[in-house]
Amino acid sequence: MIRVVVQETPIDLAAEHAAAEAADAGAVATFTGLVRGDDGVTELSLEHYPGATERALEALCEQAVERWSLAKAVIVHRVGPMVPGDRVVFVATTARHRGAALEACAFLIDRLKTGAPFWKRERRRAEARWVEARESDDAAAARWDDGV
């Protein structure tokens, strides 16, 4: 099962984790990304391209399900304005064994950072700026290229 949600409302970790569990699986791996208050950031605002964003995330989940024989792959991503400490993204992968669940979870978070159409704007007091892509995100995503 693949579940992708892009929403403006807060992410309910308990509900999402429970929904990611499966009776025939032995492991659920999760990742929760939080808004950081680095360098005085007071707000992070994410924009996306509705429809295209969900399709891109679903395609990543399909790759993960196929590569690691997952029972479930879940991505819940927030958009809109958020403050430090808010949950931005929840990723869960469910598999028969922990190694597959952990690798697939890492794959999804690495790839969604560069492969989904999200645009970030940071606010520091009265100043706002768009956040450029980072080379470290590209490098993290590229480590999965040989098997995809």
* 23-82 pLDDT, tens digit each: 889 999 999 999 998 888 999 999 999 999 999 999 999 999 999 999 999 999 999 999
How do residues 95-112 score in pLDDT, each as one tens digit? 999 999 999 999 999 999
Look at residue 85 and tell me whether its pLDDT is greater than 90: yes
Dihedral Cα 140, 10, 60, 103, nearest 10 deg: 50
Going by C-alpha positions, the residue among 101, 114, 21 that lies closest to residue 65 is: 101
Query: What percent of the chain stands above pLDDT 90?
Result: 76
Look at residue 135 and tell me whether its pLDDT is greater than 80: no
Residue 34 to residues 82, 84, 103, Cα–Cα distance (Å): 10, 7, 20
Query: How many Å apart are CA 104 and CA 114, to the nearest integer?
Result: 16
pLDDT band at 147 (very low <50, low <70, confident <90, very high): low
Per-residue confidence (pLDDT) for residue 119, from 0 to 100: 93
Query: How many Å apart are CA 3 and CA 62, to the nearest integer?
Result: 10
Q: What six digits make up the tokens of 15?
A: 């509900």
pLDDT band at 91 (very low <50, low <70, confident <90, very high): very high
User: What value does the mean pLDDT of the chain take?
Assistant: 92
